[in-house]
Structure 1
Amino acid sequence: MKALFRRSAALLAGSLIPLVCLVGRPASAAPPDPLADAFTRAAATYEVPRDLLVTLGYAETHLDGHDGAPSASGGYGVMHLVSSPAGRTLERAASLTGQPVAALKTDDAANVTGGAAVLRAYADELGLDATARKDPGKWYPAVAKYGNASTPEVARLYADTVYELLGTGIRTATPDGETLTVKARSVRPDLGAYARTRDLNEPLAAAAVDYPSARWVAASSSNYAVSNRPTSNVIDRIVVHVTQGSYAGTISWFQNPAAQVSSHYVVRSSDGAITQMVREKDRAWHAGNDNSRSVGIEHEGFVDNASWFTDSMYRSSAALTRSIADRYNIPKDRAHIIGHNQVPGATHTDPGPNWDWTRYMQYVGGSNGGGTNPHTPQSVCGSGYTVIDSATLGSAGTVYLLYNTANGNNCVTTIKLTSLGTATATSAYLEVQGKTRITDSGNFGYYAGPVRAAAPGKCVKWGGKAGASAYDSLFEHCGS
């Protein structure tokens, strides 16, 4: 599914550039910014707001053209011009600009021009006049269309991402070392017909997904196999992937019957948002012969660009992995939580050398091969308890909230990850709304707790501490 992008060798002429710059140019003159200039020219030529154009490109690729190699869904260049059964924006850009397809694939300036031309064509089709084109908010339906989304819901998700980035601003370095900036600005997008479309950023009821924090968007039934796991097949692996594309683009691709691939979950770079696309009981097509035994998690981004792998993404994905591991009794170690490149017979390289396994496994609450805590949240709280939430306490431990459907009790425990067997300050607490907080605090070798309480129809606060890190929830999980 993923093409490995290779960056060209360092420019041999790099050492000559300072000599050339001294000829015919004042010493104080700044060097040119090719990509910034390309955005400025393209925006002026096609009357597209410059900041909106840059932000759209950033949402697609972080302004990395990957030397003309395609994304997983067949998109090329900084502006992700697509040539696939799902869309033909690359060919349309060639028609609109007169640029050869080869140049649009490999030349950043040509690609930016092509993206601006396609976006303007969509604006024209939607009837935006000269006055409307000056307002970035009026371009929302055109931006939504640019994403080549498979459904209106995914198109809205795509456009929302662009406008959220426009609101927060961007400062990013390109692979060539150029810095591009979009100042944060308040823009009120005109959603038009998309105002009546379901917002995929809104979570569903917990019963609608296997992981309560996830959103649900179903993959095409042509891209996975219905099953009855873990009854039919044991689930004992979690496979980490990188999408080689954007969050919304990957969701759309998994909805396309032609893709013939899918994963159970997709995680967004900017904030760690999670979309579930295949139920865990079913076999997503993501890991070859390991499909029957594994749960697949895709992460937005590209293997050769570390800027996609944010702390929010690591923490959110780790919480998801921890939940899956707890529910299927999967050991939290690198023998059972693996990269796509570790699947037997794999031809893929993701998650690649930029993926920080050490940090990820610390957040998961597992190990990279060293000793592990022999105690689990279930073993501490007792039979019948299931993890419903958790929070990482730096690298020192994880605090868990569990629930027992048989007796209606909650339970909180803090499981240490460091200084195992050595008595260190550790605590866990549970507070039922309207009642006195119950705390277990002291110097413990492996865990604090269990702290149990019934909370029928009530909200609870919970948390704990290990090492220098603490977690305190708001009142939540009401009625658990």
Structure 2
Amino acid sequence: MRNTRARTPYRLAMVLTAAATILLGVLAQGASAAPAGPLARAFARAATAHDVPRDLLVALAYAETHLDGHNGAPSASGGYGIMHLVANPTTHTLKKAAELTGRPVATLQKDDAANIAGGAALLRSHADDLGLDATARKDAGRWYPAVAAYANASTPEVARLYADTVYDLLGRGLRAPARDGEIVTVAPREVEAERGAYARTRDLNAQLAAPDYPNAGWVAASSANYTASSRPSAYAIDRIVIHVTQGSYAGTISWFQNPSASVSAHYVVRSSDGAVTQMVRDKDVAWHAGNWSYNTRSVGIEHEGYVSDASWFTDAMYRSSAALTRHIADRYGIPKDRAHIIGHNQVPGATHTDPGPYWDWNRYMQYVTGGSNPAPGKYWVDTHAAAPGHSSPGGTRTGTLNQGTNYVYCRTWGPNVQVGGDYNHWWLKTDLDSGSPWQNQWVSAYYLARWGNDVAKDNSGNDIPNC
């Protein structure tokens, strides 16, 4: 008989020094000694009630949502709450969790403790379907097929990718901040994951190279979710659109393979390590921008995470995505600037807000251009508030430049903008984050965060040149 109990690589001893191991152990003991917060208590209660390993339950939740219930708002694939209980045309785990727990669907959507209980009940139901008895349930490694089933993945390969992510977190341990500041911990441990039939399933972490980007793996989206084409001969490619998935990496890959999704992107980037999966060929038209014209002219890159949670936007993700963007720009002759590398929120007619306020455009564009300075002719500035954009200095309102670090091209003297004792006559030409048109618009230098009245300097203190 084939031995399917494979020792996984998720061992603390293989990735940490002995000193770090001791330190983490001390930290874990200190965390367990401290009074548990409401979220930690909810995980403990749910794990006990449904005889599910507590740490495995936390690791699964963290892989799904980073323990953020998003105030009851659904993910892109219709998942709710910390445990990502799903209600979409093909997956109905939210309804099943309600049946298993006897709690209303609305409660499971919005109440964190109820949602965690629903996720635990659902995970236990998968274990029961697999025949795990009371003894087997005490071994976290035996739950691997149940975790894979929880994913409701489109293929066994994606289910394995999902379960491997959860067991990686379980092995390494985690210290996860919740939205209210509570810290939920999982102590690192050595885990033997019994993959069962998944041991013979293709590992997407070691998948075949993608056809258009050598550093990506390839998983094809459903042909129902994109339009076959022959770009760039059929349509010129002159834009790159940055998205955030509103879901997990494995969940997004699975969703793009679901024929009912009616959505896709060319690439998906993982938060933890920047791994890239291509799902639609560059030559084909992915349905990502919500605007057919922009779909035909752009390449869409999805990034694992949620717009409301900065913890997903790791340096590994920024660097990997920037390398991908640089490759696409070089391949199709796209200028490496914010007029051509845009957020989904900047697509004309967009109803989405991604990549959102926590996406660090300054850092990202520095990685894209390969240096610490903006492209020639652009000057980085900080704005203390969202700045209204205008068609001309003081002219018709056209949109908004979001608060944060932005770039401008030049300045001109114009109508005074004054609030209280603060004022400025300078106007800056720039590209807005929203509005139509959004390129080459004007904002008042009143909104500059670093300098006093009636000046227009970049973040380094240099005068922005006149237009």
For the criterion TM > 0.5, the same-fold answer is yes
Residue by residue, what CA displacement relative to the aligned partner does 1:317-356 show, whole Å, maximum 9, x if unpaired?
A: 0010010011111111000110000111111100000000
Moved over 2 A (4+): 29-32, 366-373
> Of 47, 50, 57, which residue of structure 2 is paired with 1:46?
50
Structure 1: gaps of 5 or more residues: 1-28, 374-480
Residue by residue, what CA displacement relative to the aligned partner does 1:19-61 show, whole Å, maximum 9, x if unpaired?
A: xxxxxxxxxx966511100000110111110000000000000
SS at match of 1:164: helix
SS at match of 1:180: strand
SS at match of 1:201: helix
Deviation at 1:85, TM superposition (A): 1.9
Verify the 8 A CA contact 1:83 1:89 in the aligned structure 2: yes
SS at match of 1:219: coil
Residue by residue, what CA displacement relative to the aligned partner does 1:41-99 show, whole Å, maximum 9, x if unpaired?
A: 11011111000000000000000001111000000000000111231111111111111
Q: Residue type matched to 1:177 in 2?
A: G
Asked if 1:157 corresponds to 2:161, the answer is: yes
Deviation at 1:183, TM superposition (A): 1.1
**Could you say which residue in structure 1 is the equivalent of 2:268?**
266
Change in Cα spacing, 1:224 to 1:368, as seen in structure 2 (3 Å) is farther
Q: Residue type matched to 1:355 in 2?
A: W
Q: Distance in 2 between matches of 1:153 and 1:171?
A: 28
Q: Residue type matched to 1:276 in 2?
A: Q
Residue by residue, what CA displacement relative to the aligned partner does 1:379-418 show, whole Å, maximum 9, x if unpaired?
A: xxxxxxxxxxxxxxxxxxxxxxxxxxxxxxxxxxxxxxxx
**Could you say which residue in structure 2 is the equivalent of 1:277?**
279
- Aligned residues, how many? 344
Asked if 1:203 corresponds to 2:203, the answer is: no
Deviation at 1:226, TM superposition (A): 0.4
Q: Residue type matched to 1:294 in 2?
A: S
Q: Distance in 2 between matches of 1:46 and 1:175?
A: 25
SS at match of 1:275: strand
SS at match of 2:98: helix
Verify the 8 A CA contact 1:229 1:280 in the aligned structure 2: yes
Residue by residue, what CA displacement relative to the aligned partner does 1:343-377 show, whole Å, maximum 9, x if unpaired?
A: 1111110000000000001111168994439xxxx
**Could you say which residue in structure 1 is the equivalent of 2:103?**
99
Asked if 1:298 corresponds to 2:297, the answer is: no
Residue by residue, what CA displacement relative to the aligned partner does 1:413-456 show, whole Å, maximum 9, x if unpaired?
A: xxxxxxxxxxxxxxxxxxxxxxxxxxxxxxxxxxxxxxxxxxxx
| TM-score (ref. length: structure 2) | 0.72
**Could you say which residue in structure 2 is the equivalent of 1:230?**
232
Verify the 8 A CA contact 1:219 1:255 in the aligned structure 2: yes
**Could you say which residue in structure 1 is the equivalent of 2:243?**
241
Q: Residue type matched to 2:206 in 1?
A: E
| TM-score (ref. length: structure 1) | 0.70
Q: Distance in 2 between matches of 1:105 and 1:204?
A: 38
Change in Cα spacing, 1:340 to 1:323, as seen in structure 2 (3 Å) is same
Q: Distance in 2 between matches of 1:321 and 1:239?
A: 9
Residue by residue, what CA displacement relative to the aligned partner does 1:222-273 show, whole Å, maximum 9, x if unpaired?
A: 1000000011111110000000000001001101111101000000001101
Verify the 8 A CA contact 2:96 2:122 in the aligned structure 1: yes
Structure 2: gaps of 5 or more residues: 1-32, 378-467
Verify the 8 A CA contact 2:366 2:374 in the aligned structure 1: no
**Could you say which residue in structure 2 is the equivalent of 1:360?**
364
- Show the 5 A alignment for 1:139-154: 139-154=143-158
Asked which structure has the greater RCO (Cα within 8 Å, sep 6+), the reply is 2
**Could you say which residue in structure 2 is the equivalent of 1:190?**
194
Verify the 8 A CA contact 2:108 2:114 in the aligned structure 1: yes
- Show the 5 A alignment for 1:413-424: none
**Could you say which residue in structure 1 is the equivalent of 2:402?**
none
Q: Distance in 2 between matches of 1:104 and 1:317?
A: 35
Q: Residue type matched to 2:263 in 1?
A: V
Verify the 8 A CA contact 2:366 2:373 in the aligned structure 1: no
Change in Cα spacing, 1:58 to 1:265, as seen in structure 2 (3 Å) is same
Q: Distance in 2 between matches of 1:297 and 1:252?
A: 16
- Show the 5 A alignment for 1:17-56: 33-56=37-60
Verify the 8 A CA contact 2:345 2:354 in the aligned structure 1: yes
